[in-house]
Amino acid sequence: MRCGSLAMLFLLTISRPLLGQEPEQVVRWATLAPWEFQMTNNIVYKKANGYECKLDVITPGTRSIARPTLICIHGGGFVAGNKEETSLVALPYLAKGMNFVTVEYRLAPISLAPAAVDDCRCALRWVFTNAKEYGFDLNRLVLRGASAGGHLVLMTGLVPADAGFDNECMDGDYPDLKVAAIINYFGPTDLTTLLHSQPPKWYVLRWLGDSPNMDELARRLSPVNYVRPGSPPVITIHGDNDQSVPYDQALRLKEALRRAGVPNQLHTVRGGGHGGYSREENLAIQQEIFAFLKQYGVL
């Protein structure tokens, strides 16, 4: 096992329940995990503009077994954040026997749009190329992201290969990078409406920069425009009092998915804002996500 920042954080976190207050099976899992899990940190999946795009992988056991795999993309308004922020997201999925991949990408201060989408598509391509080495079951890949990460997992999972976002990738020629499901936590889905809201959303302006064709770029980077029959099932979690990414963004996506006949589910957090949900709400959301993944053959 290679111990980097993700590994140390993981080990410290799973040790916290060992206070005699958790069920025996949780203690057993937490005790065995440091010895049975494998971690590889800071794998370079792409180089662009002098920047190394990196990801981390955790597998809950031997890598000779193909397992369902969660690919997690962090948020931060396209201008901030890092893959380590999502480390704790791994825990319930690892407990279900899933692999975990957490992805870093170029932020706006490094490269403006559409660089982040390009990178995330290349990360997915890396997963396909390295499936055998790490035990990724390509029929049971799930994308998960929150806020800007929600937008990026939608783009990564919905856009076709000919959309032009894969041109910089180093790995493999895969005509269809299809995933089994997408978990979208309050991600922006229609950048055009956010660009023309009053006032325009700051994160959209920062990410698009001073592009002379800003409207066209916003249209091209709106996940709602890529929904089509055969798109992967999508579950969305969104608070109806979200001031950063309006709840209407979730409704727009749901309607597009409905029209295309794509399986989808919207979990509305009543009175909820941009995350920060209660303990009970988070537990209910996770149960609903697992039920959704089971329904569509991931678990």
Q: Is the pLDDT of residue 1 over 60?
A: no
- Predicted pLDDT of residue 22: 59
Report if residue 82 sits inside a domain. Answer: yes
- State the average pLDDT over residues 90-106: 96
Report if residue 6 sits inside a domain. Answer: no
Gap between the terminal Cα atoms of the chain: 26
| Helix (H) / strand (E) containing 239 | strand 234-239
Report if residue 14 sits inside a domain. Answer: no
Residues 202 and 260: their CA atoms lie apart, in Å, by: 31
| Cβ proximity of 156 and 126 under 8 Å | no
Please count the CA atoms within 13 angstroms of the CA of 39 that sit on its side-chain side. Answer: 21
Q: What is the CATH number of the domain that holds 272?
A: 3.40.50.1820
Residues 278 and 230: their CA atoms lie apart, in Å, by: 34
Read off the pLDDT of residues 229-277 as tens digits, 9 standing for 90 and up: 999 999 999 999 999 999 999 999 999 999 999 999 999 999 999 999 9
| Helix (H) / strand (E) containing 43 | strand 38-48
- Predicted pLDDT of residue 11: 45
What letter would DSSP give residue 182? E
Report if residue 25 sits inside a domain. Answer: no
> Amino acid identity, residue 30?
A
Read off the pLDDT of residues 138-152 as tens digits, 9 standing for 90 and up: 999 999 999 999 999
- State the average pLDDT over residues 45-67: 95
- Predicted pLDDT of residue 170: 77
Residues 263 and 6: their CA atoms lie apart, in Å, by: 34
- In which domain, by residue range, is 182 found? 36-295
Residues 171 and 96: their CA atoms lie apart, in Å, by: 29
What letter would DSSP give residue 226? G
Total domain count, the chain: 1
Residues in the chain: 299
Q: Could you tell me the maximum CA-CA distance found in the chain, to the nearest angstrom?
A: 60
Q: Is the pLDDT of residue 20 over 50?
A: no
- Predicted pLDDT of residue 15: 44
Cα 247-250-252 angle, rounded to 5 deg: 110
Q: Are strands 67-73 and 264-269 parallel, antiparallel or unpaired?
A: unpaired
| Cβ proximity of 189 and 249 under 8 Å | yes
Residues 113 and 186: their CA atoms lie apart, in Å, by: 20
- Of 32-46, 71-85, 163-177, the range with the lowest mean pLDDT is 163-177
- Predicted pLDDT of residue 14: 45
Q: Is the pLDDT of residue 9 over 50?
A: no
Q: Residue 245: CB partners within 8 Å, gap ≥ 6?
A: 147, 150, 186, 187, 188, 194, 201, 238, 274
Read off the pLDDT of residues 278-294 as tens digits, 9 standing for 90 and up: 999 999 999 999 999 99
Residues 191 and 211: their CA atoms lie apart, in Å, by: 14
Read off the pLDDT of residues 193-241 as tens digits, 9 standing for 90 and up: 999 999 999 999 999 998 889 999 999 999 999 999 999 999 999 999 9
Helices (H) and strands (E) counted in the chain, each on its own, are 11, 8
- Predicted pLDDT of residue 31: 84
| Cβ proximity of 80 and 149 under 8 Å | no
Residues 261 and 76: their CA atoms lie apart, in Å, by: 31
Report if residue 12 sits inside a domain. Answer: no
Report if residue 148 sits inside a domain. Answer: yes
The share of the chain scoring above pLDDT 70, in percent, equals 92
Q: Is the pLDDT of residue 120 over 70?
A: yes
Read off the pLDDT of residues 64-89 as tens digits, 9 standing for 90 and up: 999 999 999 999 999 999 999 998 99
| Cβ proximity of 145 and 152 under 8 Å | yes
Buried b (16+ CB within 10 A) or exposed e, 280-298: ebeeebeeebeebbeeeeb
Report if residue 20 sits inside a domain. Answer: no
Angle between helices 24-36 and 5-15 (to 10 degrees): 160
